[in-house]
Amino acid sequence: MRPHARSRSLPPEGVPAASGRPSAGWMDRRFALLSLAALAGCGFELRREPELPFKTLALTGFEPNSPLAAGLRRQIKRTPVQLVEDPARAEVVLEVLHEFRDRTVVASTSVGQVREWSLRLQFDYLIRTASGELLVPKVELRLARDMNYTEKDALPKEQEAANLYGAMHSDAIAQVMRRLAAVKLPS
């Protein structure tokens, strides 16, 4: 005769087992909650959109097809601030003084083939009121990225250069937005 096997049912997920040890799912949730509590205790907070302390903004001095202007417009549309075309009607004016991007050769072979480029973005601007009162003096923003290059991969390297310029534009826009958020309007 075969002894009768006892059937044992497992407790639902998250409920400690009869042995007194918690189930794996319960431990995962407990660990996640403790991790969140630790992050909250240290002051960790996800980055949010900057809160701009004004209601209207004008962008002046940009080139007609400037990727920086397009990116700033997209970013500002995510805030309650209204973009106005006429700087005289804006509380704050972001005035571009210089916007330039270029690439220079960093390394080349003995026969003159390029092996490495330096991609650079220069962006100078100031922030003022419509009446001309300076809120943020001239800011000279300089960003650079180095890129290896081979002539046989010219097309993919052009795409890589475009991606690096895009990353520099995103970085510049984030810095400008933080600067705009720190503006103190005259009383």
Kindly list the distances between the CA atom of residue 147 and the CA atoms of 108, 116, 163, 176, in Å, as whole numbers in the listed order.
12, 6, 11, 25
The average pLDDT across 118-146 equals: 95
Region 174-182 average pLDDT: 94
Pairing of β 82-83 and β 56-60:
parallel
Q: What is the pTM of this model?
A: 0.71
**What pLDDT sits at residue 151?**
84
Chosen CATH of 56-181 out of 3.90.550.10, 3.40.50.10420, 3.30.160.150, 3.40.50.300: 3.30.160.150
pLDDT at residue 22 tops 70: no
Report pLDDT for 166: 94
Q: Rounded mean pLDDT of 9-22?
A: 55
DSSP state of 26: H
Give residue limits of the domains in the chain. 56-181
